A and B are shown apart, each in its own frame.
Chain A
Amino acid sequence: MSRIGVFICHCGENIGATVDCERVARACAGIPGVVHSVDYKYMCSDPGQNMIKDAIRDHNLTGVVVGACSPRMHEPTFRRACEEAGLNPFLCEMANIREHCSWVHEKSEVTTEKAIDLVRVIVEKVRRNKPLFPIKVPVTKTALVLGGGIAGIQAALDIANAGHKVIMVERSPSIGGHMSQLSETFPTLDCSQCILTPRMVEVARHPNITLHTYSEIESLDGFIGNFKVKIRKKARSVDEKLCTGCGLCTQKCPTKKIPSEFDAGLGMRSAIYVPFPQAVPNKPVIDRLHCTFFLKGKCRLCEKVCPTQAIRFDQEDTIVEADIGAVVLATGFDIKHADFFPEYGYGAYKDVIDGLQFERLASASGPTLGEIRRPSDGRKPETVVFIACAGSRDPAKGIEYCSKICCMYTAKHAMLYRHKVHGGKAYIFYMDIRAGGKMYEEFVRRAIEEDGVRYVRGRVSRVYEREGKLIVQGADTLLGAQPVEIEADMVVLATAAVANDGAEELAQKMHVSYDAYKFFAEAHPKLKPVETNTAGIFLAGACQAPKDIPESVAQASGAAAKVSALFSQDELTREPVIAVVNRCAPPLYSTCVGCFLCQAACPYQAIEKEEIRARDGNLIKTVAKVNPGLCQGCGTCVAVCRTKAIDLQGFSNEQVFAEVMALLNRSEANAGI
């Protein structure tokens, strides 16, 4: 007969305010099989947990039900407490009487009645729990870091320095990400290349890191500790071993008029190119869409000049397979482009540019070698208007969130402009300045007070070109909403930070959930920011949400720490919530009739065929068998199986059946003795 202990938590006032906890405890005492039923102010506190441990020992309990918050919150806490008291942790379950009851209903008889129901349902479930023991699964101690921006670089270095193998995959020809495109970085204005390139070199030379640039993920299968990844190394048309990176080919290449992605379209590059001088690996790539050889079969000039004959026009994409234990997603972000702002004339007027393009103008390795010049006629602009929140915080444009970093880099841009063009006038139209980081506010004050940047609080309604000038129409809400009209030579839009295109397909390929804006979804906004709902896959950087460099690096180190923790043991213990095919005495041996309709339903291909043979070796029947390493416990096979031969540990047919019966049959216990 089961000896179940029920522990009802007040959670301070969170539950106690609307649910009569004493009555719930009293009511549950009446349930057959419950031998101990108490309530306490904070069950998850140490005294609370000790109450449980003592009760387990004193009443030698065979099951524990904690009526408190969501199991997604404290199930591990209480299960660990039970384990320490010698009770199998899977005999402890939680009834969610906080998020699903006390917080969402008024204080009333009905609410307490519902709380009792919810606890009673879980008591019936625990009564039918079986002790389960974690599954031991080997862990491949190699991490896959997806994305070569500063977040990816930091994560890769931390994991590699912890002594584990890392495979980094970067989509573009070189690592570095958006940070490599920046001129200086706030709030210290130190040169982005100077602090980034040493790290990039460190990645390239790190013995534990295998770098695949100009490559993408083909597929990812398996599960935590046992992923199998297929990486598609796109054909560079250059043999990386032979190429010394001398750059002769890029100079001699006749097709020079291709807008450079690295320079955000302001500068030009050749068909065979290295994105930027400090590129790692410093090996060129042939852009097959523009290269004359691939278009018309002629030229081959780069092949002729190459001192080490490293050009391979016939190179094919290759698929690299690897066993992976954990994945860090650090694929970064993008900014909103093109004709998203007709009212600002963006994409129509050459002198209306976005933040990244201004960075390239300000960057010493940029198309204008660091001088701020107008893309239209190359003249130095005397008046530049910066427009913050271009697209962000604008429900009409479908982007409601704040992109977090634009206030800071817009202040930086204005400061850089003032430094580079002394007589220039800089205006910034803003709504609110978000400068919450360390030394951030001081940086913005410096821009205003020392560099004379004029901040105008108001939104710009229209930018139009007239007689060579860009007329910026806005309002100044601090001066009584006066309409303001500025004749500017150049306008810089701080456009919204959005997810990369292709982020959705990548998330689906990695079985990771994502939000409405296609940013990857963290497991818990506050408590698990670097994990995803998929065990073994972690997040770092702006792919999770717009964030600046310090936060990306911090998150990357966090993700790396998680990976190192995972790799710290040889075997990974996995939750034993997996499916099992029943076995019984001969002559039946199992109710499974070997129809294998379940096999097609299993997303993890975890169901195999097993032949049951008699002692003399002849085949009696072929039945299904679940591979405990692959099964993730979704239970689809259990619902597809006609003969109920396969059952899910922790959510067995008997348990869920009993839960339905208990929920709908209110007993005297509810009547409240």
Chain B
Amino acid sequence: MPEFEPRIVAFVCNWCTYAGADLTGTSRIKYSPNVEVIRFPCTGRIDFMLLLKAFAEGADGIIVSGCHPNDCHYTSGNFHARRRWILFRGLLDFMGIDVRRVQFSWVSAAEGAKWADVVNTTVEAVRKLGPYDNYRQIARSGGV
């Protein structure tokens, strides 16, 4: 049985993590291809609904990454995002949604290696958790 290849979507901020991921590229650091990145101007821009949409559309894991505190290009986008994730993650966990599949991180434009590490560790963690059948099942009940 071929090993389970999780599909993971990453919501990243343009100024830090996206640039960090670029640096991972320019430094030719290899990492697992299971993660695909969607660019946002700032983590403050990432709507919590998008995480639900990702799970509904069949993602097995989600990465949300942006600037370190005090480094945000827009000064406070990441602070607002952090508060949003503290509450949202708590609510998801309370409703039984598997927050181990959602990895939040700070990756700066200079941390190419850290981005590769965040990706690899998340892919391995989700691979161990297996496909997100619970959520896929209710998504299928959506009549698709």
Chain A contact residues, CB within 8 Å of chain B: 70-73, 96, 98-101, 103-106, 108, 110-111, 114, 117-118, 121, 508, 511, 513, 515-516, 521, 533-534, 577, 601, 603-604, 632-636, 638-640, 648, 651, 653, 656-657, 659-661, 663-665
Chain A residues with CB under 8 A of B7: 664
Min CB–CB distance B98 → chain A (angstroms): 17
CB of B141 closer than 8 Å to a CB of A = no
Min CB–CB distance B138 → chain A (angstroms): 15
Chain B residues with CB under 8 A of A108: 33
Interchain CB contact (< 8 A) of B9 among A73, A98, A663 = A663
Query: A99 vs B16: C-alpha distance in the bound complex, in angstroms?
Result: 14
Size bracket, chain B contacts: 35 or more
Once the chains bind, are B57 and A114 in contact (CB under 8 Å)? no
Once the chains bind, are A636 and B42 in contact (CB under 8 Å)? yes
Q: Given A70-B25, A659-B38, do A664 and B58 touch, yes or no (CB 8 Å)?
A: yes
**Residue in chain B with minimal CB distance to A514:** B71
Once the chains bind, are B42 and A100 in contact (CB under 8 Å)? no
Q: Given A508-B70, A636-B42, A659-B38, do A653 and B57 touch, yes or no (CB 8 Å)?
A: no
Instruction: Give the segment of B75-83, B99-107, B123-131 that binds chain A.
Output: B75-83
Total residue contacts A-B, CB cutoff 8 A: 142
Chain B residues with CB under 8 A of A98: 25
Q: List 16 A-B contacts (CB under 8 A).
A: A100-B25, A103-B26, A105-B30, A508-B70, A511-B73, A533-B109, A604-B74, A632-B74, A635-B40, A636-B81, A638-B47, A639-B81, A653-B47, A656-B40, A657-B50, A665-B58
Once the chains bind, are A639 and B47 in contact (CB under 8 Å)? yes
CB of B116 closer than 8 Å to a CB of A = yes
A-B contacts besides A636-B74, A661-B53, 17 pairs, CB < 8 Å = A70-B18, A70-B22, A98-B25, A103-B25, A104-B116, A577-B41, A634-B74, A635-B40, A635-B45, A636-B77, A638-B45, A639-B46, A659-B38, A660-B9, A660-B53, A663-B9, A663-B36
In this complex, the member of A534, A604, A659 whose beta carbon has the largest number of chain B beta carbons within 10 angstroms is A659
Interchain CB contact (< 8 A) of B31 among A96, A104, A603 = A104
Q: Given A99-B24, A634-B42, A635-B41, do A513 and B54 touch, yes or no (CB 8 Å)?
A: no
**Residue in chain A with minimal CB distance to B108:** A513
Query: A521 vs B109: C-alpha distance in the bound complex, in angstroms?
Result: 10
Once the chains bind, are B45 and A651 in contact (CB under 8 Å)? yes
Once the chains bind, are A636 and B44 in contact (CB under 8 Å)? yes
Q: Given A103-B25, A103-B26, A664-B7, do A603 and B75 touch, yes or no (CB 8 Å)?
A: yes
Min CB–CB distance A533 → chain B (angstroms): 5
CB of B59 closer than 8 Å to a CB of A = yes
Q: Given A104-B25, A638-B45, A651-B40, do A664 and B33 touch, yes or no (CB 8 Å)?
A: no
User: Restricting to B10-32, which residues have a CB under 8 Å from any CB of A?
Assistant: 14-16, 18-19, 21-22, 24-26, 28-31
Query: A157 vs B141: C-alpha distance in the bound complex, in angstroms?
Result: 70
CB of B110 closer than 8 Å to a CB of A = yes
Once the chains bind, are B33 and A105 in contact (CB under 8 Å)? yes
Once the chains bind, are B36 and A513 in contact (CB under 8 Å)? no
Interchain CB contact (< 8 A) of A648 among B41, B54, B59 = B41
Min CB–CB distance A604 → chain B (angstroms): 8
Chain B residues with CB under 8 A of A117: 36
Min CB–CB distance A113 → chain B (angstroms): 8
Q: Given A104-B24, A521-B109, A603-B74, do A634 and B58 touch, yes or no (CB 8 Å)?
A: no
**Residue in chain A with minimal CB distance to B53:** A660
Chain A residues with CB under 8 A of B74: 603-604, 632, 634, 636
Once the chains bind, are A111 and B42 in contact (CB under 8 Å)? no
Min CB–CB distance B46 → chain A (angstroms): 6
Once the chains bind, are A513 and B73 in contact (CB under 8 Å)? yes
Chain A residues with CB under 8 A of B48: 639
Min CB–CB distance A639 → chain B (angstroms): 5
Interchain CB contact (< 8 A) of A603 among B21, B41, B77 = B77
**Residue in chain B with minimal CB distance to A655:** B38
**Residue in chain B with minimal CB distance to A516:** B110
In this complex, the member of A70, A111, A601 whose beta carbon has the largest number of chain B beta carbons within 10 angstroms is A70
Once the chains bind, are A103 and B28 in contact (CB under 8 Å)? yes
CB of B37 closer than 8 Å to a CB of A = yes
Chain A residues with CB under 8 A of B108: 513
Once the chains bind, are B71 and A636 in contact (CB under 8 Å)? no
Q: Given A99-B24, A632-B74, A657-B53, do A118 and B42 touch, yes or no (CB 8 Å)?
A: no
**Residue in chain A with minimal CB distance to B46:** A639
Chain B residues with CB under 8 A of A515: 110
Min CB–CB distance A288 → chain B (angstroms): 32
Min CB–CB distance A128 → chain B (angstroms): 14
Min CB–CB distance A98 → chain B (angstroms): 6
Interchain CB contact (< 8 A) of B33 among A73, A111, A511, A653 = A111
CB of B84 closer than 8 Å to a CB of A = yes
Once the chains bind, are A100 and B21 in contact (CB under 8 Å)? yes
Query: A661 vs B38: C-alpha distance in the bound complex, in angstroms?
Result: 11
**Residue in chain A with minimal CB distance to B30:** A104
Once the chains bind, are A635 and B36 in contact (CB under 8 Å)? no
**Residue in chain B with minimal CB distance to A93:** B39
**Residue in chain B with minimal CB distance to A604:** B74
Once the chains bind, are A635 and B42 in contact (CB under 8 Å)? yes
User: Restricting to B120-140, which residues have a CB under 8 Å from any CB of A?
Assistant: none
Chain B residues with CB under 8 A of A638: 45, 47
Once the chains bind, are A648 and B45 in contact (CB under 8 Å)? yes
Interchain CB contact (< 8 A) of B36 among A121, A511, A601, A656 = A121
Min CB–CB distance A531 → chain B (angstroms): 13
Min CB–CB distance A177 → chain B (angstroms): 27
**Residue in chain A with minimal CB distance to B54:** A660
Once the chains bind, are B47 and A636 in contact (CB under 8 Å)? no
Chain B residues with CB under 8 A of A604: 74
Min CB–CB distance A222 → chain B (angstroms): 13
Once the chains bind, are B59 and A664 in contact (CB under 8 Å)? yes
**Residue in chain A with minimal CB distance to B45:** A635
Once the chains bind, are A634 and B36 in contact (CB under 8 Å)? no
Q: Given A110-B33, A634-B44, A635-B42, do A664 and B9 touch, yes or no (CB 8 Å)?
A: yes
Chain B residues with CB under 8 A of A513: 15-16, 67, 71, 73, 108-109
Once the chains bind, are B57 and A660 in contact (CB under 8 Å)? yes
Once the chains bind, are A521 and B110 in contact (CB under 8 Å)? yes
Interchain CB contact (< 8 A) of B37 among A100, A508, A601 = A100
Query: A665 vs B54: C-alpha distance in the bound complex, in angstroms?
Result: 10
Min CB–CB distance B131 → chain A (angstroms): 13
User: Restricting to B59-77, which residues have a CB under 8 Å from any CB of A?
Assistant: 59, 67, 70-71, 73-77
In this complex, the member of A99, A663, A665 whose beta carbon has the largest number of chain B beta carbons within 10 angstroms is A99
Once the chains bind, are B33 and A665 in contact (CB under 8 Å)? no
Once the chains bind, are A118 and B53 in contact (CB under 8 Å)? no
Min CB–CB distance A649 → chain B (angstroms): 11
Q: Given A72-B18, A98-B25, do A533 and B36 touch, yes or no (CB 8 Å)?
A: no
